[in-house]
Amino acid sequence: MQPLKFKEITKSPLWAGQDIVALKHYPVGTPAVGESWEISGVRGDETRVVGGPYDGKTLPELIAMLGADLVGRRNLERYGTDFPLLVKFISAAGDLSIQVHPDDALAQALEGKRFGKTEMWYIVKAAEGATLYSGFKHDLTLEAYDAVMAEGRLTEVMARHETHAGDCYFIPAGQIHSIGAGNLLIEVQQTSDITYRVYDFDRVGADGRKRQLHTEQARKALNFKAKKEYRTAYDDRENVRILLEQHPEFTTSVYHLTAPLTTDFSTTDSFVIFVAYEGTARLRDDEGNVVVLRAGESVLYPATMRSVTFEPVGTERFSCIETFVD
């Protein structure tokens, strides 16, 4: 068993920015990229392994071949050959639509799909004055929400947050949200492409038409309860593993390293994904594999891995997001 790198899938929606192009050192003249799907098992958008004995294989193919050795015993029992996570970079030059995602039960009932979409955002870079929407300012009833929509006042009741590098937001299924212009972020989410567009700022697509809204589906999916705090609170330090979020859908942590660090995964019954966004590190695991991971790259370690040692390369700090399902 070896660590696996995948060929990313890029997408260029109308709000796409240039930060992913710069982060990944794409050639000069590359069009704007809004999303880079780093590791994906979404049907029709499966990323493929690059290099090694499994070159060209997709995640469902790998799970069918390697089973629990790749994803972990409980994940195999729970998900079968469906890989449970989708990991992305998102670069926004314009505001994304205001949207909501269904939970698993509603996704199955309305769409006939296995997974809803709970997600997490980690802000890598934010332009001055950049913001995002996450949640409502106060509790609403369905009737009050309908009135707000009819009056065109939706953004007035939504919680708007100024963003900074290092901010983290957990977005459970049912929570209204929108990524604002000027943000580069890492998104960890359930394996789902179901999005219910609530409002799109009356924009038109390349075909000259307004994009489709999903008004009735959104009414069924939305959670109208507000929270006191939407930003994740954590103690940001160097040279330690910092837990960000821990939920049934995924666990995420962040590393900021200027010195070597070893993390023990001996009790983790799951694959582990690292998404680098700053600097370069040499990763050594307990089976003797060595991987060089640079900013803008991602790697998946199989569940058989017991520990990883990070060795920053050069003078620049190495930073990455870690995620798994356990």
pLDDT band at 315 (very low <50, low <70, confident <90, very high): confident
Which residues are 28's β-sheet partners?
none
What's the confidence (pLDDT) of residue 113?
Answer: 92
CB atoms within 10 A of CB 40: 23
CA torsion through residues 266, 267, 268, 273, sign: negative
Mean pLDDT of the chain: 96
Average pLDDT over residues 284-302: 97
pLDDT reading at 1 higher than 90 = no
Least confident of 111-115, 205-209, 217-221: 205-209
Query: What is the predicted pLDDT for the residue at 7?
Result: 98
The predicted model scores a pTM of: 0.95
Q: Does 211 have pLDDT greater than 90?
A: no
SS3 for the chain is CCCECEECEEECCCCEECHHHHHCCCCCCCCCECEEEEECCCCCCCCEECCCCCCCCEHHHHHHHHCHHHHCHHHHHHHCCCCCEEEEEEEECCCCCEEECCCHHHHHHHHCCCCCCCEEEEEEEECCCCEEEEEECCCCCHHHHHHHHHCCCHHHHEEEEECCCCCEEEECCCCCEEECCCEEEEEEEECCCCCEEEECCCCECCCCCECCCCHHHHHHHCCCCCCCCCECCCCCCCCCEEEEEECCCCEEEEEEECCCEEEECCCCCCCEEEEEEECEEEEEECCCCEEEEECCCEEEECCCCCEEEEEEECCCCEEEEEEECC
Q: Are 300 and 39 in contact (CB under 8 A)?
A: yes
Spatial distance between the Cα atoms of 296 and 191, rounded to a whole number of angstroms: 21
What pLDDT is attached to residue 208? 79
At 222 the pLDDT is: 98
Q: What is the pLDDT of residues 13-57, one digit of tens each?
A: 999 999 999 999 999 999 999 999 999 999 999 999 999 999 999
Q: What is the structure's pLDDT at 115?
A: 93
Provide mean pLDDT across the span 257-286: 98
**In the predicted model, is pLDDT for residue 207 greater than 80?**
no
Question: What gap in Å lies between CA 288 and CA 299, rounded to an integer?
Answer: 16
Q: How confident is the model at residue 287 (pLDDT cuts 50, 70, 90)?
A: very high
> Residue 326's pLDDT is what?
87
pLDDT at position 6: 98
- For 138-195, the pLDDT digits (tens) are 999 999 999 999 999 999 999 999 999 999 999 999 999 999 999 999 999 999 999 9
- Contact assessment for residue 6 and residue 47, using Cβ atoms and an 8 Å cutoff: yes
**Domains of the chain from N-terminus onward:** 6-221 (2.60.120.10), 241-324 (2.60.120.10)
User: pLDDT at residue 206 above 80?
Assistant: no
Give pLDDT tens digits for 246-255.
999 999 999 9
- Each residue's pLDDT tens digit, 220-238: 999 999 999 999 999 999 9
Write down the pLDDT at residue 39: 98
pLDDT for res 52: 93
